[in-house]
Amino acid sequence: MTPTIRSIAPDELPTFVEVMTTAFLERPDVANVAAELASLWDVRRCRAAFDGGTMCGTFRTWETELTVPGGGIVPGAAIAGVTVLPTHRRQGILRALVAAEHAAIRERGEVVGLLYSAEYPIYGRFGYGPATRIARWTLDTGEASFHGTPSGRVEIVRPNADTAVRMVAVFDAVRRSSPGEIQRRDYRWEYDLGRETAWGDRWKGFVALRHDRDGTVDGYVRYHAEPDPARRPRARLVVDDLHATSDEGYAALWRFVGQVDLVDTILADHRSVSERLPWHLVSARAARMSEPGDGLWVRLVDVPRALEARSYEREGTIVLEVIDPDDGGGRTRLALDVGPDGAVCRRTDRSADLTVHVAALGAAYLGGTRLRDAVIADGHDEHHEGALARADALLRTADEPWCSTFF
User: Which residues are designated catalytic?
Assistant: 123, 407
Work out the burial of residue 139: count CB atoms within 10 Å of its CB; fewer than 13 is exposed, 13-18 middle, 19 or more buried: buried
Furthest-apart CA pair in the chain: how many Å?
70
Asked whether the CA dihedral 51, 55, 57, 59 is positive or negative, the reply is positive
**367 in the Ramachandran plot: left (φ > 0), alpha (ψ -120 to 50) or beta?**
left
Cβ 197 vs Cβ 37: under 8 Å: no
Question: How far is residue 291's CA from residue 273's CA, in Å, rounded to a whole number?
Answer: 10
Q: Is residue 200 exposed (0-12), middle (13-18) or buried (19+ Cβ within 10 Å)?
A: exposed
CA-based torsion, 268, 270, 273, 275: positive or negative: negative
For residues 210 and 201, give the distance between their C-alpha atoms in angstroms, rounded to a whole number: 28
Beta bridge partners of residue 288, listed in sequence order? 138
Residue 315: count of CB within 10 angstroms of its CB: 11
Strands (E) located in 158-283: 206-211, 217-227, 235-244, 263-271
Any residues with CB less than 8 A from the CB of 340 and at least 6 apart, and which?
Answer: 315
Closest CA to 5 of 51, 66, 73: 51
Inter-residue contact 354 to 382 (CB < 8 Å): yes
3-state class of 263 per DSSP? strand
Angle value at C-alpha 255, between 194 and 192, nearest 5 degrees:
15
What's the distance, CA 233 to chain centroid? 36
**CA-to-CA distance for 362 and 368, rounded, in angstroms?**
11
